[in-house]
Each structure stands twice: as C-alpha cells, then as structure tokens.
Amino acid sequence: MRSDRPLSRAELPIDTAALARFLMGKIVMRALPEGLVSGRIVETEAYIIGDAAGHAYRGITPRTRSLFLEPGHAYVYLAYGISSMLNVSSELPGVGAGILIRALEPLDGIPIMRRNRGIERLRDLARGPGRLAAALRIDRGLDGLDLCREGPLWLAQDSTGPGEIAESIRIGLSRDADRPLRFYSPGNPFVSGPTSLNAG
DNA sequence: TACGTGATTGCCT
DNA sequence: GGCAATCACGTAC
C-alpha cells in the first residue's frame, strides 16, 4: 500500500541534479473535485545553476520567480502555447534552478486522467511533460505552490523505491544540450523520448 | 507596440 | 518520421 505522506523539505537534496535523481520513483498527488489523481515519477530533467537552457538563466522575472523559491515549490509554465510543464524548484532561496517532471506512471484516478486527456490509451496518459500536466489538470494557477504539504498538488513518499535509474542528455534543447542531466527508469513503458535515449 | 522563440503534442503519411 | 498549431514572455524598437 502506498503512503501519501508529503515529502518533507528537510529531506530534499539542495543540489539540482541530486534532487532530480531523488525525485525518481516519488509520487505526484493531485486533488481534484472528482477525486485524487496520482502517478509515479519515472523521468526527470535537471536545469542546474548557470544552465543556458534553464528559464532562470537570465535572472528572476515575474514568470520565473518560483524557480528562486526554496526547494520543493512548483514552477509551472506554458510551452508552445499549448502545453503546461510542471517543475520543482531546487537550490537555496534566491538561486534559480529546478527539475522538469517529464513522465509519470499512472496510479490512482486513471479514469479522471483519461477524461482530462480525452484519450483511452494508458501508456499515453502521462508520457511527456505536457501530457502529465494535462492528465493532472495542472496549469499556471498552481505556480508557486508548496509541494511539501498536502493541498491541491504535492509530492509524496513512495514505499517501493525507484529501482534502477539511468541517465542521458536532455530532450528538446538547443542550448547546453550535451550535458547528461536527464534521469529515467530504463525499460519502463511510461518514459517519454526517442528510443535512442532510453537504453538500459 | 512588435516580433522571435520555445524544457511539445497530435495528427498525417 | 515530419510538421503545423498556438501563445506567454522577454527583448528590442
């Protein structure tokens, strides 16, 4: 049986890459009017200090201010005018860095996810950052939320552990694209990205 | 005020 | 595997 106890801030690694690895296997919990929706994190990407591909690279702005909060806050933004992306802030307060949650293995509330996504196929419900945000109905309205306490959206402990964790370069970048800052569960069918990056 | 850009997805072939 | 859709934000004018 899973525990839905929120992660405590004190147990989060400060370092961005370490936190990206730490979050593997943890649970994203989402409280919706229809019920609870949750999924296990199977893919993350770190956007570290001084990262030219990171949104905090040019300093704090109204949009990116959540990345500068203490670790464990939500940074949500809209990409390509269509897809919301869920990130977790990292590093000390005032330092802009974070982790993109790229894919979830659906656990609870799968019928709700199907409704939110408008598709049936289990494997596609939360495989990809925009897809998981849609499945959990996450948008800019949740930006800045504390993910270390139970509420509309939070991070929870897992009981089973992440299993094997592999790493690769990150997906979809044009700058600083060569660093190995993507983490995934090899062999897990709910991981996104091209086959060439998912060896294991 | 205008324009370029992007941590993607879904549909078509 | 290729490509269009679509818009908030940041920067420049």
Q: Between the CA of A14 and the C1' of B3, what is the distance in angstroms?
A: 38
Is residue A103 within 8 A of residue A42, CB to CB? The reply is yes
Q: Is it the case that residue A113 has pLDDT exceeding 90?
A: yes
pLDDT at A131: 97
Q: In what helix (H) or strand (E) does residue A16 lie, and over which residues does it extend? A: helix A16-22
* Residues 6+ positions from A16 with CB-CB distance below 8 Å: A46, A47, A48, A49, A90, A91, A97, A98, A99
Report the nucleotide nearest the CA of residue A77, measured to C1': C8
Statement: the CB of A75 is under 7 Å from strand C:
no
pLDDT at A1: 43
Tell me the residue type at A91.
E
Instruction: Output the DSSP codes for A25-62.
Output: T-EEEEEETTEEEEEEEEEEEEE-TT-TTSTTTT---T
> What six digits make up the tokens of A28?
């994203």
Statement: the CB of A60 is under 7 Å from strand C:
no
Spell out the CATH class of A9-187.
Answer: alpha beta
pLDDT at A159: 85
pLDDT at A195: 87
Statement: the CB of A5 is under 7 Å from strand C:
no
Count of C-beta atoms within a 10 Å radius of residue A26? 18
Q: Indicate if the alpha-carbon torsion angle A57, A61, A62, A67 is positive or negative.
A: positive
> What six digits make up the tokens of A103?
């894919």
pLDDT tens string A134-183: 999 999 999 999 999 999 999 999 888 889 999 999 998 888 888 999 99
Q: Which residues are in reach of strand B, CB within 7 A?
A: A 45, 47, 53-56, 67, 75, 78-83, 85, 87, 98, 100, 117, 119, 124, 128-131, 134, 170-175, 192
Q: Is A162 helix (H, G, I), strand (E, B) or coil?
A: coil
Per-residue confidence band for A3, with pLDDT thresholds at 50, 70 and 90: low
Is residue A108 within 8 A of residue A36, CB to CB? The reply is yes
Question: How confident is the model over A36-59, as a mean pLDDT?
Answer: 94
pLDDT tens string A68-92: 999 999 999 999 888 999 999 999 9
In chain A, what are the domain boundaries? 9-187
Angle among Cα A77, A155, A158 to the nearest 5 degrees reads 140
